[in-house]
Every structure is written in C-alpha cells, then in structure tokens.
Structure 1
Amino acid sequence: MDRNEEDIQAGIQSLELDSQSNAVVSMEKVKRHLNVVFIGHVDAGKSTTGGQILFLSGQVDDRTIQKYEKEAKDRSCESWYMAYIMDTNEEERAKGKTVELGRAQFETENTRFTILDAPGHKDYVPEMISGASQADIGVLVISARKGEFETGFEKGGQTREHVQLAKTLGVAKLFVVVNKMDDPTVKWSKQRYDEIVAKMIPFLRSSGYNRQRDVQFLPLSGLVGTNMKSRVEISTCPWWTGPCLFEALDSVEVPLRDPNGPFRMPIIDKSKDMGTVVMGKIECGTIHEGDSLLVMPNNAHVNVMAIYCNENKVRHSDPGENVRVKLAGIEVEDILSGFVLSSIVNPIASVTEFNAQLQIIGLPDKALFSAGYKSKLHIHSVVDDCEIVALQRFDPTTNLPMRGQVHFAKNGDVVMCRIQVSNRICVERFANFPQLGRFTLRDSGKTIAVGKVTGLQI
C-alpha cells in the first residue's frame, strides 16, 4: 500500500470513528438526565450505597476497589471501602462520615443520573440542603440494623429532618431504601422490613408525600450490592417480588421542565479557567453557545463562550442538566454562589424583602417566633441572614388567613410574613418557579421553618 492509499485508509477510519462518536452523542442525548440526592441519618450507608452504584454501573474498576479495600483494612474499617468511592477527602475517610456534598455520574438503560451524596450528620445540614435543592428525586437510606433505624427516626435524628427538607426543597419523588438487610441482626427479615415501613408511612404522609404516588420502598444491601442492579435472589429474600434499585430509578416519572421558558440557572460554584466559568443546574429554558444573558442580582451583561456537560463541550443544553458555562463580560470575583444566570428579556427579580407563607416546625426551646426574629435563610443556592418583619397567622382548620396582625407564632403554626434579607438576592414566586421559590429557615443548628415565596417587594 503506497502513501496515498494509506492516507485514504486513515481518512476512512477517521470518518468511521467520527461517525461512531456522533452516534454515541446522539444516543446520550435521547437519555433524560436526573439529579438524585442520597439523604438519611449518619451511618445509614448513603456513601456505601452510592459507591456500590458506581461500581455496578462500571464507573469504578476492580483494581480501584482492591486499593480501597486495603486502605479501609489498614484503618481497621473493612466495611467502609465502598464509601471511599464517594468520600474522597482525607477527613471523610478518617472519620468515616461524609462532610462535603459528593457528586458522581452513572447511567441506567434510559437515564443519566448525577448522584448528590449528602452528609448525614446534623452539623452538615447546610450541605444536605445544597444537594436537595438541586435534586429531582431522592433516595432516603435507612439502616435496618437493630437500634440504628430507631436512632435516626427518633426526635432529633436526621431521618426526619432530611425528609422534611427534601419535600420543602422540591424533591417530589422519594425512594426509601431499607439498607443493611444482610446484617446478622436482620437476615432479610420481612418482619423487620414491615416494621420500618409501617413506622415511616405516617411520617412521610405528614411531611407531604403521597404514599401511592410519590414514595417507593425497597430492601437492599449497599455493602454487597444485593437488589441494586439485579433483583435479589429468591433464596436470599423469598418475600420480595418488587424491582431492584436500578429498575426503580430508571422508571421514575418526574414533571417535565419548560425548555422554552425564561432561562434560569442558579450558580452553585465558580472557577477561573482561561476565563470565568460558572457551574449550576438549569432550572428553566435552554442555553446556547453565543447567547447574551444576565448575571443577577448585579445585572451584569455576559456572553456565553462555551458550555460543558459531563466534561464534554456542547453547543446547547436543556433544563435539568448540570453544566459549566464559560462567560465573557464578567470577572470571577464579581460572582457569588447564589447568583443566577438569567435571560435578558425576562430576567429574574432581585429583592431585599419578600412575602412568604411559612410553616413553623421546630423552634429552639423557649423561643418565640415574632417580628424581629433573626435566622439563616436557605433558598436554591443562596444562604443569607434574614429577619422577620411582619406576621399574619393562618387558621389550620380552614387554611385561610386570620384577621389582624399577630405578635408571635409557635410550632405547627402556618403564618404569612414579610422577610428581609441582608443582601440583595434572586428569588421567584413559588407559583411561577417552584424551585426558586422554596426556602428553609435555620437557627441554632436546626431547621425551624419551611416556606414558599408568595410575593416580591421590588
């Protein structure tokens, strides 16, 4: 074969590779994308279950697993090795608990997932809120081990707070996985599984989840991967006839987002990489390379230079995707987490006060919720100090506002209020953009109220 023929042959092979590459991209594009947050009490097995998912879906090879097994054994913590896939920093591995919000990707037959592994310890609830605010669906991990479920579920346990926060932050569908079913204290006991389900259902209902429409229970073992990618063997668990975790996740139905609506992307992080790069999840609208947009609330006009999805450069991206966007017209130091990348024609509002409907769920001991009450506001990727300016109570039996202004509210009350924040922030009315209109108030390390924005003081 002469040089010309070699060049022709190489060109043909190159075209074939390009064609295969394009085919892969087009196949990926037909798969929907969902963010799934793993929540639950500390030590329930969230990171281990997440790590097992990545291993079973081919994201981690056997050699890496062997390395983690040795590392965990050297620490005398043999059962932690799967968690090392998600818990990547030294502090998390040394303590055996998640500190930061972990992030990873995997795919099922029809869906691309981004895992958001939320910390379970009460000291890191703000990180859990950050994960849940980005999520489409949730996996609540519960330990079936004797005593561990009870610790997480009793008052003060993170199972309860995580469920309430997930519902408030827009996690519409919840998979409740009863983990550690292979534990010697459980041994795939149907009685133990049924006991946990029976205790969880009334609480999930009181938190706003519809048992039939929104919640699905599954037994599994995150450590060894049973009932995760394939269904559990009848010899192991003769009473379970439902799906495995991968099947359940792949078939979940979630509300469609509007690709033609005004563009909204809360910024969760930023970096400098040959220009200014912002990261976030597209909540509404579609972004194209070359678009002119606004960074709010500082009203900065920017141009979209490049879009990256899963490290791949793309020309456009639809709602629901996690993307990195390279911008021209703004410096990194002029952007804060909580800012919003917004369309110019219909920009997001920026306010220092807004009206809200609020449910009080957990005031500190002896505290009264009244005008002047100060706490920490969490709304999409914003965290800011806030103060209650005025209150009006709702009648819990009629759900209608009661006449006159009230002076204080107590646990369980539903109130209308006006909230003032320390800095100008971007929010939307809940009725228009639910994901940008839900919020929580926290004080003294605990969630005291959940609410939704009803009006903007522009």
Structure 2
Amino acid sequence: MAQSPVPWDENDEGNSISAVSSSDLNAYAKEFVPGFIPKLSSAEQINAEMEQKYARSTTAPTTTAETLNETTKSNTSSVSKGKKAIAVVKRDIGRQKEPLNILFCGHVDAGKSTIAGHLLFLAGQIDQRTLEKHQAEARENSRESGVHAFATDTTEEERARGITVEVGRAWFETERKHIVILDAPGHRHFVPNMILGAAQADVAVLVVSARRGEFETGFERGGQTREHTMLVKAAGVRRMIVLINKMDDSTVNWDQARYNEIKNKLIPYLKKCGFKSDEDITFIPCSGMKGSFLKTAPEEQCAPWYTGSAFAQYLDSLPPFSRNIDGPFRMPIVEKYKDMGIIVMGKIESGCCRVGDQCVIMPNRNRVKVTNIYYEDMETDFCICGENVRLKLENIDENKISSGSVLCSTESEPCHVGKLFDAEIVVVEHKSFISPGYSAALHIYGASVEVQLQKLIVLVDRMTGERTQPNPRYIKQGHAAIARFQLSQSGKGICMELFKNFAPLGRFTLREQNGTVAVGHILKIIE
C-alpha cells in the first residue's frame, strides 16, 4: 500500500515543499525552473524595450566616457531616490551592449585557456606586441603550443605547469554584447574555484577535445567533463554551448563522423543533467590553436558539413537575459585587493549601485561607502544587475572581507546569515549510505565551509515531488530528501537565502575530496 504524503511544517513561511520543486535543483531533471520570477519588472521592461530597439538598429552610436556622463546627468536629474532602479536602466542606454558572462569549463587540457586567449586576440583585446611577449614567455617555459593560454593563465605557477588554477577573467565585445570570459580550472583539485566561476555564469561553454583518447578520458567516470556539466546546471546555468575543440588534430582532421560521435555521446548526459537538446544546447566544432570557428568561419573549407554560426557570432545572437534590476542590491564578493584603497570585485546578482551609495558587507555587517565604480577599463558612476564590476570602498579594512561576503544596500534588508538550515538535496554520487552525523564541504557562491547533517526529515519522490518516508535512517545515491544541516564552525554563519526568494544564494553543493556528493537548495533558515 502506498504511503500517504507526509506534511512538513507547511504553516511556516517558506517551508512548504510545494513552493519549490525537486526538479529545480535536480541535476537529472527534465525541466529547469529559473530562480528568479520570469515576469519582467518595470525596470526590466524598459531594458527589454531598449534592447529590442537597439537590435533593430544597424549601427550603435559611439559612446565615450564624456558622453556617458552627460547621458547620466540628463537621464537622472528628475528621478527620485525611490525609483533608483529605473533611473539606472535609463542611464544604461549609454552603454548599449548587454553584459554576458560565459564560463569555460571542461576536463584539464581540453583547450579552454587556449580558446579564450585566441578569441581575445581575434577580438582585438590582445595586440601584436603583447602576443609576441607571450610567445617569448611560452618558449621559456617550453610551452609554445600554449601561447594563447597566457592571456588568462597569468600566474607563474599556471604558466610553468600549463594548467589553470584560479578562475581567469577577461572580456571582449561583439556588436551587441559585452562578454566577460570566466576561464575555470579543469583539474579536479581546483573544482571549488570552478564552482565560484559557475555561480557567476549566464552561459556555460563546455570544451571537449576531439583528439582520439582525450575526449574519452575526460568523459569517463572521474573525468571533469561530467562533474563540470552537473555543477554548472546545479548553479542555475540554463544554456550550454559545447565547443568540440582540436578538430584540426591529425587524429581527427575535421572528420564529421568524429564530431557526430562526440555529440551523440554527450547529448544523453546533458539531457540527464537537465539541459534540453533543442533549446539549451548548441554544438560548435573549432580549433583553439588555429582560431577556426572562434570569431568567424575559416576561409578554407575545412568543415563544409558544418553550417552553423561561429562561436562569437552565436554569442552575439543570444536573446537578452532577464535581470532582477528592481531587486535589492546584492553583489557577492569574489575577490579583493588594495589599490589606493580597498577594491572588491564581483558580479551584481540583483539591483543596482551608484557612486556614493551606502552599503553593508555581510555577514559581518560592516557599513561602507562606494566611492568609485570601474566597469572594465571605464570609470563610471553606476552599475546594474548582470555586470562584473570593481567597486572601491571607504571605511573598511581588508581583513573584514572574507570568502563568501556579500555587498548589500542599506536601503533594504541585507541578505540573511545562517548556520542552521533545512534544505532539499539530491545525492548525485556517493558510494555508501549518508546518515545524520555526515560531514562535507558546503559551497554557496564564494563561501566554502564544513557542514554536518543533523537530521533527515523526509524522503522526496523525485518524479512527483511528494514527501514519502518520514525520518529515514539514511539516504543514498539517487535519493532526494529534506534534511537539516548545521555549519561546523561554532558561532559563525554565512550568507544564504531561501532558494525561492534569491536563487544565487539559495543554491549549494556538497563535496568531498573525491567529488561532488549532492546538490541542493535552501528551504528554511532556522538560525
């Protein structure tokens, strides 16, 4: 006899499992529900209208820092403080190009950094003199074939070892997009860094090698192709571009059969992770070394069988992303440094910010003032949701900013801080049973702390979302459950939110040294 559904604190606000579906976080779900409400706010409608207007135009006006400032003054002089979001969107017209954050992910040595660097060169972001400098350094490190990787692999360790350690960051522009490249490390030892990159991404770019043997190594169990795919989906990334690299290799020679073989092996797993083959996945053959199909199609007919767009052309054609511009200002801090003051970096996940704004850094509740805003190579007086920016802060010591800190506006409630919470999780890979007392590393955006499973509340049917068995003794691979977790560090909490209210800080992963164990989202913050 089937068990009747088990209630679970449904009278408590934010606790009802009906408010969130297990498919929202399930890496194997058929459908993905985005974290933010899809209905456009008033500010977003203005932004969408401007994007449509711009898309219809044939040329974009040239914008200098001076004209941008003039546009800013004229567009905001009559706008009240209570309508800050709309004012910022109007001022953003001066920038014209939509921000797009892309994450290069995949197995080590697939060619991620080489593709990123070569694309930057083709887009004009790396001049010939800089390229020649990189070539000289590559020869010194006996890495002539990896010269383009030096554009994003900037540390001595990365250049000497030939692997990415930190998330490299660079940018270039297309006709309609301002594109930020996040180059994630492919080695399994640096997956936590990759998770931080995935949290900032709008689009994932999975790079796989077409070279005989290399694709198989990355895709088999233990390779990072599988784990990275699951992690970007768990991070809320909805669109996947698969670059099948090294098509020019002597073992491949732009063979369509090899391209189709890799494509046919990947599609079932991508679907299993929740990506839709038609809407969410695009395959593009390329050569990172030669630059083929990165910016444009090559002049030589190396792949006459491929009739799709080149990589940069496809990125430029993507429709605008819906942004939470009307929401409270939230910027998870991913990096900090000193430069005539304290500067923090990050992607704005909600709302907007202007020079002079008063903010608070959570979880320590330090009040700061934003004195300068830098958007790539331009100093500006505002920034909006979706942009990767640098903010100079006043009234703060560097040691007060820790991993996982979030910059919030003082005009609204700051983000929550928690150390005991209930969450719905899906165990994606674990060889043994998981029971109360189990510990793992919890990753929420930039925060990484040890967490302990306190209680298994109820099992959840992954197909129907119904609660089935209350108080199970254990869970195992493939199980979904509502569970209670507590941070192991005594007395300290980290920034987190309910998934249904603010998805970027409501998603998390649980990892052990050998890999990702579970993904989940937060249902209730207890304390």
Q: Do Structure 1 and Structure 2 share a fold, with TM-score over 0.5?
A: yes
Q: 1:431 aligns with which of 480, 483, 500?
A: 500
C-alpha separation in 2, matches of 1:234 and 1:125? 38
Q: In the alignment, is the contact (CA less than 8 A) between 1:281 and 1:322 conserved in 2?
A: yes
Alpha-carbon displacement from aligned partner over 1:316-354 (angstroms, at most 9, x marks no partner): 110011122222333222121211111232221111111
**Mean alpha-carbon deviation: is it higher for 86-95 or for 159-168?**
86-95
C-alpha separation in 2, matches of 1:308 and 1:168? 30
Q: Does residue 1:139 correspond to 2:208, yes or no? A: no
C-alpha separation in 2, matches of 1:20 and 1:177? 35
**Mean alpha-carbon deviation: is it higher for 281-290 or for 394-403?**
394-403
The aligned counterpart of 2:520 is 451
**Mean alpha-carbon deviation: is it higher for 198-207 or for 315-324?**
315-324
Higher relative contact order (CA 8 A, sep 6+): 2
The aligned counterpart of 1:361 is 428
Alpha-carbon displacement from aligned partner over 1:153-184 (angstroms, at most 9, x marks no partner): 00111000000001111222111000001111
Q: In the alignment, is the contact (CA less than 8 A) between 2:98 and 2:320 conserved in 1?
A: no
Q: Does residue 1:157 correspond to 2:226, yes or no? A: no
Q: Does residue 1:45 correspond to 2:111, yes or no? A: yes
Secondary structure of the residue aligned to 2:422 is strand
Alpha-carbon displacement from aligned partner over 1:192-248 (angstroms, at most 9, x marks no partner): 000001000000000011111111100010111001111234621110110000111
Secondary structure of the residue aligned to 1:213 is coil
Q: Does residue 1:325 correspond to 2:391, yes or no? A: yes
Q: Which residue identity is paired with 1:389?
A: Q
Q: Which residue identity is paired with 1:163?
A: T
Q: Does residue 1:93 correspond to 2:159, yes or no? A: yes
The aligned counterpart of 1:441 is 510
Q: Does residue 1:271 correspond to 2:337, yes or no? A: yes
C-alpha separation in 1, matches of 2:463 and 2:63? 63
1:85–1:274 Cα change, 3 Å: closer
Secondary structure of the residue aligned to 1:359 is strand
Q: Which residue identity is paired with 1:291?
A: D
The aligned counterpart of 1:377 is 442
Secondary structure of the residue aligned to 1:298 is coil
1:239–1:360 Cα change, 3 Å: same
Alpha-carbon displacement from aligned partner over 1:102-147 (angstroms, at most 9, x marks no partner): 1111111111111111110111111111111111111110000000
The aligned counterpart of 1:5 is none
Q: 1:22 aligns with which of 59, 66, 71?
A: 66
How far apart are 1:376 and its partner, in Å?
0.5
Secondary structure of the residue aligned to 2:304 is coil
Aligned length: 439
Q: TM-score, normalised by structure 2?
A: 0.80
1:74–1:22 Cα change, 3 Å: same
C-alpha separation in 1, matches of 2:218 and 2:269? 13
C-alpha separation in 2, matches of 1:300 and 1:431? 27
| Aligned residues with identical type, % of pairs | 45
How far apart are 1:304 and its partner, in Å?
2.0
1:204–1:424 Cα change, 3 Å: same
Q: In the alignment, is the contact (CA less than 8 A) between 2:113 and 2:152 conserved in 1?
A: yes
Q: Which residue identity is paired with 1:41?
A: H
C-alpha separation in 1, matches of 2:277 and 2:307? 19
The aligned counterpart of 2:269 is 203
How far apart are 1:148 and its partner, in Å?
0.5
C-alpha separation in 2, matches of 1:108 and 1:399? 42
1:452–1:71 Cα change, 3 Å: same
The aligned counterpart of 1:193 is 259
In the alignment, structure 2 segments of 5+ residues that lack a partner are 1-61, 72-92
1:195–1:302 Cα change, 3 Å: same
The aligned counterpart of 1:351 is 418
How far apart are 1:23 and its partner, in Å?
4.4
Q: Does residue 1:241 correspond to 2:285, yes or no? A: no
Q: TM-score, normalised by structure 1?
A: 0.92
How far apart are 1:19 and its partner, in Å?
8.7
Q: Which residue identity is paired with 2:385?
A: P
In the alignment, structure 1 segments of 5+ residues that lack a partner are 1-17
Q: In the alignment, is the contact (CA less than 8 A) between 1:38 and 1:46 conserved in 2?
A: yes
Q: Which residue identity is paired with 1:195?
A: E
Q: In the alignment, is the contact (CA less than 8 A) between 2:65 and 2:378 conserved in 1?
A: no
Q: Considering only aligned residues, what root-mean-square deviation do their CA atoms show, in Å?
A: 1.9
Q: Does residue 1:180 correspond to 2:246, yes or no? A: yes
Q: In the alignment, is the contact (CA less than 8 A) between 2:141 and 2:159 conserved in 1?
A: no
